[in-house]
């Protein structure tokens, strides 16, 4: 294990920040820090463990935004963990949820007294702290579906691409039970850790794996169950490729929440699901990000 991390600073003009974060979101499976400089420019700070990964990331960013000013150096690893303590802010998602770090005891007590469900996330490299629009769109979607009675306690969920476990934990704390899958072992570990922090070990099974040709259910063989609710916050292209497998794992009248989709890609992703017989989605937008809610009992709408 290395004791140093590569710290990369990417600086752009203030109005270029949205595009830079969109680029980062397609390249990085975990978070970064953002700051606005006194001169109005904006900066994203990324920490990477692996030199090859850092080089590939910088090449991908340079190909899309050659004007980005890049600075990099090495920092002690412990500083990064400490930095999270400064940068991790509570995030309200929808009317029901608030995402907190384990050390935010006071905020947790306050949230509980206000009737919000705290989701505790130990910030590590797995994606999913609620700070990214693609995650908060899923949780606010879940919040609304619960309010509308279209998702209910006692139902079964599949959290495909669980990352930190955040979506599955939100569902488990709302009375559902289910399965969380990820192809990345580090995500599986983080999700298992967060499952314990939230006391939902008996409500959420976590495994390495996926649906369809990628992973075939991982270490445990193919997933054969059908679910009432499926979350998949991945990216547009894999979501299109996974469409037949996701649709096959959905109960009749079940609901799919898809995210990780740039607004410009939303209709293309939707087409892959309507092709497999599902109704037109409801589209939700947050800045340049979008999520799709597909299915459910259309008569009840």
Q: Rule CB under 6 A: which residues touch ligand SAH?
A: 29, 126-128, 135, 138, 160-163, 166-167, 181-184, 187, 210, 214, 233-234, 238
CB of 247 to ligand SAH, least distance (A): 15
Residue 146 Cβ vs ligand SAH, minimum distance, rounded to whole Å: 17
Decide whether 11 or 174 has the Cβ nearer to ligand SAH.
174
CB of 19 to ligand SAH, least distance (A): 20
Q: Which is nearer to ligand SAH, 10 or 166 (CB)?
A: 166
Cβ closest to ligand SAH, residue 61 vs residue 187: 187
Distance of closest approach, residue 238 Cβ to ligand SAH, in angstroms:
5
The nearer residue to ligand SAH, 117 or 187, going by C-beta atoms, is 187
The minimum distance between CB 103 and ligand SAH, in angstroms, equals: 20
DSSP string, the chain: --SEEEEEEEEE-GGGHHHHHHHHHHH-SS--EEEE-TTS-EEEEEEES-HHHHHHHHHHHHHH-TT-EEEEEEEEHHHHHHHHHHH---EEETTTEEEE-TT-HHHHHHHHHTT-EEEE---SSSS-SS-SHHHHHHHHHHHHHHHTTSS-TT-EEEEES-TTSHHHHHHHTTT-EEEEEES-HHHHHHHHHHHHHTT-TTTEEEEE--STTTTTTGGG------EEEEEEES-HHHHHHHHHHHHHTEEEEEEEEEEEEEGGGHHHHHHHHHTTTPPPPEEEEETTEEEEEEES-GGG-
Q: Which is nearer to ligand SAH, 128 or 296 (CB)?
A: 128
Closer residue to ligand SAH (CB): 68 or 272: 272
Q: How far is the CB of 133 from ligand SAH (least distance, A)?
A: 10
């Amino acid at each position: 294990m290395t004791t140093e991390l590569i710290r990369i600073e990417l600086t752009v003009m203030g109005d270029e920040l949205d595009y830079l974060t969109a680029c980062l979101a397609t390249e990085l499976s975990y978070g970064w820090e953002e700051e606005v400089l006194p001169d109005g420019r904006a900066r994203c700070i990324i920490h990477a463990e692996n030199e090859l990964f850092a080089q590939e990331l910088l090449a991908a960013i340079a190909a899309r935004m050659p004007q980005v000013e890049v600075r990099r150096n090495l920092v002690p690893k412990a500083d990064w963990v400490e930095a999270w303590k400064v940068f991790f802010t509570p995030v309200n998602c929808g009317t029901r949820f608030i995402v907190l770090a384990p050390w935010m005891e006071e905020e947790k007590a306050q949230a509980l007294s206000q009737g919000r469900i705290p989701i505790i996330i130990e910030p590590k490299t797995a994606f999913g702290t609620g700070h990214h629009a693609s995650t908060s769109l899923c949780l606010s979607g879940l919040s609304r579906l619960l309010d509308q009675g279209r998702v209910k306690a006692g139902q079964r969920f599949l959290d495909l691409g669980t990352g930190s476990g955040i979506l599955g934990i939100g569902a488990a704390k709302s009375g559902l039970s289910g399965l969380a899958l990820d192809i990345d072992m580090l995500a599986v570990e983080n999700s298992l850790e967060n499952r314990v922090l939230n006391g939902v070990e008996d409500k959420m099974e976590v495994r390495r794996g996926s649906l369809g040709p990628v992973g075939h259910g991982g270490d445990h063989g193919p997933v054969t169950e059908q679910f009432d609710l499926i979350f998949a916050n991945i990216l547009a292209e894999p979501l299109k490729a996974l469409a037949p497998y996701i649709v096959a794992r959905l109960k009749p009248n079940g609901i799919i929440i898809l995210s990780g989709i740039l607004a410009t890609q939303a209709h293309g992703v939707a087409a892959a699901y309507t092709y497999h017989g599902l109704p037109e989605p409801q589209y939700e937008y947050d800045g340049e990000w979008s999520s799709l809610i597909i299915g459910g009992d259309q008569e009840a709408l």
